[in-house]
């Protein structure tokens, strides 16, 4: 058994682990990185990158007036090319070039500060668990005997499904639904409750209607109770008796943290509800060990893992106090139209702030760029308390980009006056954010009798 001592050991080479490794090594720490599967983790190989690549190809097929069978295999080839293009950025060679020792083995704890990885026994001052998550496969009767896809296998399909059944109406399910429909598949989404339940209901309704208008079948309150059939002929029976038939099945009901192989008990690391328990500083019950990204539950996004990485670097490398928060973390669903959220939804803001809340809403139909592009479906809604935004919901063209302004505002406690002072280039979709800020001040300026009296008074004395 080879003995290794290091300043920082990182378990998992997904987006969070890679960010910690790169930052720590370049700042002078001795860093060891473990990865027993694919460098880049879920985001590069099975998540954000391939899904957005497939959506782009689907949009192109729609723009051409429809897809043919060859478009599907071409789209999957494009997905593989995109992954191959980005992969060098997350490669062993790049990180070794940064000074990181990369060991291609899974790791498991054998002590409070020691991890075994293959023939290596690694003792570290600080350890970061960044093992991410995997697709959650629910205990549906018959599912274990039926061929099905997850986000880890759907991008390997060579032939276009005739009719894709998707169990799960969250962001992954709806993105895959639109991508496959635009590539020529019949698609049925089967959701046990409401689709996009974590998002603002008004905004989610706009997206759902747009998907239905395209021809995607979305069945809500259809909790899957049984799955049966075989290759090319699959049936999903809901608890209420509805039966859905298709050729292929995608299970997209959520994620589960990857903790099974870690032997956490040996390090005295506590878990809660299937994820690793951490405090605000992202420290586990073992003071030497941090956990970041999907493995701690909560918001499971690539950018959340990157944010966590910054918290850990400040704490583990410099001993500085650092606490993580979810209040300013945005998320987006990259369908067309896009759906994005940061901070409180309208319902959450009402519950927390009551009569102190002001809700501002601006429609895309009033934006000149949206009109020019024929992309007028959607709106931006911002929740404001005492002149400061506390949340924003956007549905429409480039919603994922627009939400960044409000994420910046929440992260830095900005006032609406600071957003209103921003000058956006004309004509851009980005002017919608400025119009929302303007909507906050318009009644205060244009409907105020005091302002009107003041203006009249000043006018009398101006030369």
Instruction: Enter the tokens of residue 177.
Output: 């639904």
Cβ-count burial of 52 within 10 angstroms (0-12 exposed, 13-18 middle, 19+ buried)? middle
- Domain total in the chain: 3
Residues of the chain by 3-state class (helix, strand, coil), percent to 5: 40, 25, 35
Residue 373 lies in domain? 331-446
Confidence at 444, pLDDT banded by 50, 70, 90: confident
Is there a domain that residue 159 lies in? yes
Task: State whether 225 and 342 are in the same domain.
Answer: no
The answer to whether residue 393 is domain-embedded is yes
Q: Phi and psi at residue 234, in whole multiples of 5°?
A: -120, 140
pLDDT over 90 at 157, yes or no: yes
Q: What average pLDDT does this structure show over 309-336?
A: 96
Which tens digit of pLDDT belongs to each residue from 46-99?
999 999 999 999 999 999 988 888 899 999 999 999 999 999 999 999 999 999
Other CB atoms within 10 Å distance of the CB of residue 359: 13
Tell me: do 361 and 276 sit in the same domain: no
Give the Å distances, CA to CA, from 197 to 176, 213, 233, 421. 17, 20, 30, 34
319 with 327: CB under 8 angstroms? no
| 31-52 residue pLDDT tens | 999 999 999 999 999 999 999 9
Upstream peptide bond of 427 is cis (omega within 30 degrees of 0) = yes
Same domain, yes or no: 127 and 171: no
pLDDT for the residue numbered 447: 78
CATH code for the domain of 415 = 3.30.390.30
Same domain, 180 and 241: yes
pLDDT at 451: 80
Q: Are residues 249 and 267 in the same domain?
A: no
Question: Given this model, what pLDDT does residue 445 score?
Answer: 75
Q: Does residue 241 come out as left (phi exceeding 0), alpha (psi in the -120 to 50 range) or beta?
A: left
Answer yes or no: do 241 and 261 share one domain. Answer: no
Cβ neighbours of 399 (radius 10 Å): 29
pLDDT confidence tier of residue 223, bands split at 50, 70 and 90: very high
């Amino acid at each position: 058994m080879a003995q290794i001592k290091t300043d920082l050991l990182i378990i998992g080479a997904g987006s969070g682990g890679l960010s910690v490794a790169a930052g720590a090594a370049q700042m002078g720490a001795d860093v060891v990185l473990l990865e027993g599967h694919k460098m880049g983790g879920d985001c590069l190989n099975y998540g954000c990158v391939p899904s957005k690549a497939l959506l782009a190809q689907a949009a192109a097929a729609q723009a051409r007036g429809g897809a043919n069978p060859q478009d599907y295999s071409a789209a999957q080839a494009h997905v593989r090319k995109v992954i191959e293009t980005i992969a060098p950025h997350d490669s062993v060679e790049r990180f070794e070039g940064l000074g990181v020792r990369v060991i291609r083995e899974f790791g498991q704890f054998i002590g409070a500060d020691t991890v075994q990885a293959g023939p290596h026994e690694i003792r570290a001052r600080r350890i970061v668990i960044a093992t991410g998550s995997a697709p959650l496969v629910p205990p549906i009767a018959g599912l274990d005997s039926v061929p099905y896809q997850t986000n880890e296998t759907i991008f390997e399909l060579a032939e276009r499904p005739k009719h894709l059944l998707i169990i799960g109406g969250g962001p992954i399910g709806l993105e895959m639904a639109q991508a496959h429909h635009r590539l020529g598949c019949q698609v049925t989404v089967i959701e046990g409750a409401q689709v996009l339940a974590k998002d603002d209901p008004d905004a989610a309704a706009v997206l759902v209607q747009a998907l239905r208008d395209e021809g995607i079948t979305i069945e809500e309150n259809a909790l899957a109770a049984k799955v049966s059939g075989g290759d090319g002929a699959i049936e999903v029976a809901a608890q209420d008796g509805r039966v859905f038939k298709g050729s292929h099945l995608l299970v997209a009901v959520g994620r589960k943290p990857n903790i099974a192989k870690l032997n956490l008990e040996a390090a005295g690391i506590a878990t809660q509800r299937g994820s690793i328990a951490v405090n605000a500083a992202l420290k586990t019950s073992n003071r030497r060990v941090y956990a970041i990204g999907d493995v701690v539950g909560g918001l499971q996004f690539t950018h959340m893992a990157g944010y966590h990485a910054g918290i850990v670097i400040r704490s583990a490398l410099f001993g500085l106090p650092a606490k993580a928060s979810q209040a300013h973390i945005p998320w987006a669903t990259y369908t067309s139209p896009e759906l994005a959220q940061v901070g409180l939804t309208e319902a959450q803001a009402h519950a927390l702030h009551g009569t102190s809340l002001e809700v501002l809403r601006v429609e895309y139909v009033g934006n000149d760029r949206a009109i020019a592009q024929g992309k007028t479906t959607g709106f931006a809604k911002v929740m404001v308390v005492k002149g400061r935004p506390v949340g924003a919901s956007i549905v429409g063209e480039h919603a994922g980009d627009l939400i960044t302004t409000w994420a910046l505002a929440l992260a830095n406690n900005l006032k609406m006056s600071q957003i209103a002072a921003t000058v956006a280039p004309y004509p851009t979709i980005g002017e919608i954010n400025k119009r929302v800020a303007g909507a906050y001040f318009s009644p205060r300026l244009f409907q105020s009798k005091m302002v009107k009296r003041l203006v009249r008074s000043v006018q009398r004395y101006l030369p």
